[in-house]
């Protein structure tokens, strides 16, 4: 019985470092002599994130069965089920908030079975119930970071939609061709799903038999990873200290300093095409959600939630009630050609946003936003 764990990890590293072709040749010989030409093999199990295509890694092997996150069979064995997680927590004698545990480590869907990240749960219990990122900080996510930070603006916009708590629909292939990662933008979604950075809510099949999946961020642990990675992309020319000061300017009401830094980010990190598409309001909505995700340890960040007599765009609610709460309302304006007219248009739109916040009573007497700035 031959068990090979994470067979694709060296392939990923070779792709990043630049010896992909050489390693593929080695892997073909290694897997062929181990699994095809070995008379002592009764059965073998390989685990990995990716099913490598167009490289003939498994050519010649008979009776190979593949099971991914989209298949029902064996779904319960890819991690801890909810029952198993509850039993483990009970055996440790901890009394954690189960809902918070779900928010952090739950959310994976393997063939219709809800699965918890096993590494995160084990570390969570070993650290006496401390809620923090465990798997993300230990997994090899260099290839994911590289793809996100260098992604086309359409993909970055989709990521911002995911950070806003929304879902996106993408065609997913079980087969990954590494050379396509730089030419076929949509390949990234299959990689993110199979690697555990997304979960699928539903699967449909189009007229050509392609799998169309509705995708969402699985949990808080992964959400924090995306937030920090998107922030790294947006603040590519700045350091971490600058980014923290940017957030501090926002949360302490230093509006002029925040405005100046935000303008710097937009000018240095965004393409002209990013900010001139039809849905400008949605773009900036997603952009700001990505930028403020670094506040999640000290603030609750809500998007499009009901409050008062309407729905605010973004609310940044401090966990410490003595601190400022923040409401962000976005308005898209078709600007005139003259500077004077533009200034008037922007001032009018800003005033309309403030009036909407007040008239819709987003800040009510019993709201966590009652101590707010807008």
Per-residue pLDDT of the chain (374 residues; tens, 9 = 90+): 999 998 888 888 888 888 988 998 898 888 888 888 788 988 899 888 877 665 667 766 666 788 888 888 888 988 999 899 988 988 888 776 777 888 899 879 888 889 999 999 999 999 988 888 888 766 566 777 676 666 666 676 787 778 777 899 998 877 776 766 666 667 788 888 888 889 999 888 877 778 899 999 999 888 877 776 766 666 656 666 788 899 999 999 999 999 998 888 877 766 555 555 546 677 777 778 778 877 877 888 888 788 878 888 888 989 888 888 899 888 888 888 888 888 899 899 999 999 998 888 888 645 555 555 55
Instruction: Please state, in angstroms and rounded to a whole number, the distance separating the CA atoms of residues 132 and 150.
Output: 27
Pairing of strands 325-328, 372-373: parallel
Cα-to-chain-centroid distance, residue 365: 34
**Element housing 115 (H / E):** strand 113-116
| Cβ atoms of 60 and 66 closer than 8 Å | no
The helix/strand/coil state of 76 is: helix
CA-CA distance, 193 to 311, in Å (whole number)?
A: 31
Check if the beta carbon of residue 311 is closer than 8 Å to that of residue 319: no
H/E element, 203: strand 199-205
Cα 105 to Cα 370: distance, rounded to the nearest angstrom:
31
Q: How buried is 337 (Cβ within 10 angstroms: 0-12 exposed, 13-18 middle, 19+ buried)?
A: exposed
Cα angle 85, 89, 94; round to 5: 160
> Would you say 149 and 229 are in contact if contact means Cβ atoms under 8 Å apart?
yes
Is the Cβ–Cβ distance between 66 and 73 less than 8 Å?
Answer: no
Q: What token pair was written down for 293?
A: 């995700």
109 DSSP β-pair partners: 114
């Amino acid at each position: 019985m031959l068990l090979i764990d994470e067979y694709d990890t060296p392939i990923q590293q070779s792709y990043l470092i630049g010896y992909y072709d050489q390693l593929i040749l080695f892997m073909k010989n290694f897997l062929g002599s181990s699994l095809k030409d070995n008379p002592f093999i009764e059965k073998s199990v390989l685990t990995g994130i990716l099913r490598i295509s167009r490289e003939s890694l498994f050519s010649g092997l008979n009776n190979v069965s593949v099971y991914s996150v989209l298949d029902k069979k064996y779904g319960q064995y890819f991690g801890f089920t909810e029952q198993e997680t509850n039993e483990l927590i009970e055996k440790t004698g901890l009394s954690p908030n189960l809902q918070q545990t779900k928010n952090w480590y739950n959310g994976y869907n393997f063939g219709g079975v809800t699965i918890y990240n096993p590494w995160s749960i084990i570390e969570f219990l070993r650290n006496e119930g401390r809620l923090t990122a465990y798997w993300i900080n230990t997994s090899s996510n260099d290839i994911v970071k590289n793809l996100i930070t260098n992604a086309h603006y359409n993909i970055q916009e989709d990521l911002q939609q995911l950070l806003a708590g929304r879902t996106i629909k993408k065609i997913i292939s079980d087969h990954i061709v590494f050379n396509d990662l730089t030419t076929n933008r949509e390949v990234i979604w299959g990689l993110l799903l199979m690697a555990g950075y997304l979960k699928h809510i539903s699967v449909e099949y189009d007229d050509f038999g392609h799998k169309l999946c509705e995708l969402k961020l699985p949990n808080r642990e992964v959400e924090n990873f995306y937030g920090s990675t998107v922030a790294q992309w947006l603040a590519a020319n700045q350091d971490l200290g600058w980014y923290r000061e940017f957030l501090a300017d926002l949360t302490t009401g230093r509006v002029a300093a925040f405005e100046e830094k935000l303008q710097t980010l937009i000018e240095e990190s965004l393409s002209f095409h990013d900010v001139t598409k039809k849905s400008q309001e949605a773009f900036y909505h997603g952009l700001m959600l990505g930028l403020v995700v670094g506040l999640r340890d000290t603030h609750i960040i809500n998007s499009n939630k009901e409050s008062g007599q309407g729905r605010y765009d973004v609310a940044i609610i401090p966990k410490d009630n003595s601190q400022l709460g923040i409401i962000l309302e976005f308005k898209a304006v078709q600007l005139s050609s003259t500077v004077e007219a533009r200034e008037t248009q922007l001032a009018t739109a800003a005033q309309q946003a403030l009036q909407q916040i007040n008239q819709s009573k987003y800040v009510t007497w019993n709201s966590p936003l009652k101590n707010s700035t807008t």
